[in-house]
Amino acid sequence: MFSLQRNISKPEVRSPVYDALSVWNEFLSRGIRDKLNSTLWTVALVYGFFKQLSEYGRDFRLTLIARRSHHYAGTRYLKRGVNEKGHVANDVETEQIVFEDVPDGSPYITLLRNGQNYAVTKHHFNNLVYRYGSPIIILDLVKAFEKKPQESILLVEFGHAIDVINRDLTEEDRLRFLHFDLSEHSKRKAKTALDSLKIVADNALDMTGFLFCLLCYATLSMMSQRLLISSLPPAVAEVMVMVILQRTFTDRYSDKQIGENSHVVGLDITRYRNPLMLQQGVLRTNCIDCLDRTNIAQFCYGLVALGHQLHAISFIETPNIDFNSPLTYDLTKLYEAMGDALAIQYGGSEAHNTIIADSRGQPKFLTRSQAVITGKRRGLNNAFMDAEKQDAINV
């Protein structure tokens, strides 16, 4: 229901699972939960994607998770923009986890302006800061060059909204906005577009960091003694948890104890470059009426993150993974599977994977014919099925 970092930071605070944005049967199960005053008889259902890989000759698992928010959700074309509560249409949270096993452990686009201060847009970004902290890095993938302006209209308005919101924020908390016309870049050469996205991802990861913690299981048992954290604001609670984690590591694995304790936990602590790191902030990507470009950008970010994750556990010597690496191939298949699963939920067909296919050297006539078929399927779904599906989601 929640991210690994949140679960580790507050394992005993136990935010009700039905409060999670990704639980889709909150409304349908509310009656029986209220009647019984219990959640034991219901199962919280998350809509999205989950898959694990563990095929690398060493004991670690690569996990990819996508959680679709039930707020302002819907089908392609029928849900767009942001609502009055700051929830954007079809919000998907993507989380990539590397876990090491150790012993013991479209129609025309219309802008609906709601005042010049962009209150609902500001509300959306406040929600992101509450969930992930700062900085919020915005990667806007919409088209800038069109014969008939459609997406480019949104590009200009969105950029203006960010400027207005940033006027009231400190330099440290300002939203970081970057536009990258993925469609235009991919027309020249798919590999060049992916290389450029990888540079963007490198910079974003440097700004946000990522979660790395050796003491996940030990931390869980420890946290039961610190329920007072539940009364603190989220940011303060997280800082307190990190202080507790750092203190535990220092107490348990001080320099003089590392040698004698490492064999007890079945782990050579000295080989880890940093025993504790925390993600602060998030990379937020968006396109319009299409998750295909978003999924490609997320893949590039995931590839960069995977390099740093594997480097943190000393699986590779440098935090860089080449596009021709077998690891890249496996990660690509994982993100393609996630993209297809979400695209079927959202648009009624598999995702367009032309950029990835072009980067592999797949003949263009094959990728273009597949793209035509996918487009036709989406068009049929939009014309004949999406309205009923949207009504069901709205329930």
DSSP 176-232: EEEE--HHHHHHH-HHHHHHHHHHHHHHHHHHH---EES-HHHHHHHHTT-GGGGGS
d(CA 6, CA 130): 12
What pLDDT does 288 receive?
Answer: 84
Q: What is the pLDDT of residue 217?
A: 38
| Residues in the chain where the model's pLDDT stays below 70 | 10-15, 55-59, 101-107, 113-115, 214-275, 290, 352-353, 357-373, 375-376, 378, 383-384
Tens-digit pLDDT profile for residues 19-68: 778 889 988 888 998 888 888 888 889 999 999 887 665 667 889 999 99
- pTM beyond 0.95: no
Per-residue pLDDT at 225: 38
Of 336, 367, 366, 372, the C-alpha closest to 351 is: 336
Helix or strand (DSSP H, E) at 282: strand 282-286
Q: What is the pLDDT of residue 304?
A: 96
Interior/surface letters 338-370, b for 16+ CB within 10 angstroms, e for the rest: bbbbbbebbbbbbbbbbbbbbbeeeeeeebeeb
Query: Where are the chain's structural domains?
Result: 52-211+279-394
pLDDT at 392: 82
Element (H, E) at 95: strand 92-100
The pLDDT value given to residue 222 = 46
pLDDT at 55: 67
